[in-house]
Structure formats: C-alpha cells, structure tokens
Structure 1
Amino acid sequence: MEAVVVLLAIVPAKQLGHASGATAGAVCGAIAVVALLLCGVVGRGRAGLYAGSVFQALVIAAGVVLPAMYILGVIFAALWFTGIWLGRKWEHAAPAR
C-alpha cells in the first residue's frame, strides 16, 4: 500500500512545486520499488523487521528532497510500528489460549 500511495504523490509534489517531475519521479519510484522488494523479506524473521524499520526512517529522511515524504513517512512509520506492536501482542497472547 505504501508503494501505491508514494507513487500517487508524484503529481501533487510536482504541481505544488516541491520538486521537479524528474526528482519527484525518481524519489517516489525508488521508494516504491524498495517497498515492494521488502514485502518478500518482512515475514522472514527479525532481519525483515529491522530492514522495514530502517526503510521507514529513510522514507522520512527523503523529506529533505521531497517535503511530502515527511508527512507520508510519518504516517506509514506509525502504521509500521503499530503493526509490529500488535503482532507482538498477539504472539504473546496466543500461548495463553
């Protein structure tokens, strides 16, 4: 989902004058590709969770080049860490059943 939303941010970023079309396309395209590649890694242990967490930090850092990424990065980082928290909560509750 993050990849789709980031790709949809290209046009508004260009129209609002945050960056040129080429810069917005390159930044958003790279973020989308990495997000899709990380989909295959996330379910394979702690390394995937760490990689996803670093990725979320890099998306926020991309706000230096494209200010819209600050907002999108914070939103998706909040979703990411909420998902990790809920997953751990669910895993700890499962043995009790």
Structure 2
Amino acid sequence: MRMLCSSTLIGEFFIIGFAALVAMKGDISLALLWSVSGVGMLLSLLLCGMLSRPAAVPVGWVLQIGLVLSGFVVPMMFFLGAVFAGLWWASIHYGRRIDEAKARWAALAAAENGGAPSGA
C-alpha cells in the first residue's frame, strides 16, 4: 500500500505546484497562494513518509478534499482533484489487497520451508 499511496502523493505534489502556477494569473495574493500551495505540497511529501501510521490515510483524504476544493480557484482542479481522489482510493484499496496477498505468500513460503526464512 505504501508504494501505491506514495506514488499518488508525489503526483499530487506536482499537480499542486502546477495549479499554483496557473492560479497566479488570478487575483489572489501571491503570499496566500504560495502559503496554501506550499502547505499542500509539504503535506503530500510528509504523508509519503508517514504512511505506516494509522492517521496517514485520513489525513490523505483531507488532502484529497482540499485538492477538489481548489477547483474554486482553478476550475480544472475539480476534475484533477476527483481523479487523484480516485487514485488515492485505488491505492488504499488495492494496496491493502496486495499487502494481504504478500503476507499469505510469505506464510506459505515459511510453511514450506519449515519455518525457515526463504533463501536460507
């Protein structure tokens, strides 16, 4: 799950930065724009390292909601935010399935080897 979620978050890092560049054409102050965008970008990077903690997934959902809501500033972000929210869901859903399958395969391999780690 960590690999899939991290990939989504890194993509969001770049999308937030590019959206901020597009939003510079608007009438929002640059200090506010880059403060909010910087927090979003920093949060996406920090979440990559915190994915093993239980609170990371709900905080990631908050980031997804913020990404969709940024569509009020850059209308294309309604679409991109929804796409990344879908990717976030898929990363969590399928990532957990992959983790469960890896755990089953590791248990099978350990049982076949008599409890010894594989490669020993």
TM above 0.5: yes
Task: Give the aligned partner of residue 22 of structure 2.
Answer: 12
1:71 to 74, 79, 91: 79
Q: Sort the Cα spacing of 1:31 and 1:12 in 2 relative to 1 into closer, same or farther, 3 A.
A: same
Larger RCO (alpha carbons 8 Å, 6+ apart) = 2
Give the C-alpha shift of residue 66 in structure 1: 4.1
Long gaps (5+) in structure 1:
none
Deviations 1:18-60 (A, max 9, x none): x43514333322211221222221122x321122122212222
CA distance in 2, matches of 1:28, 1:67: 16
Decide which structure has the larger Cα Rg and report it: 2
Instruction: Give the aligned residue type for 2:84.
Output: F
| TM-score, normalising length: structure 2 | 0.61
Long gaps (5+) in structure 2:
1-9, 109-120
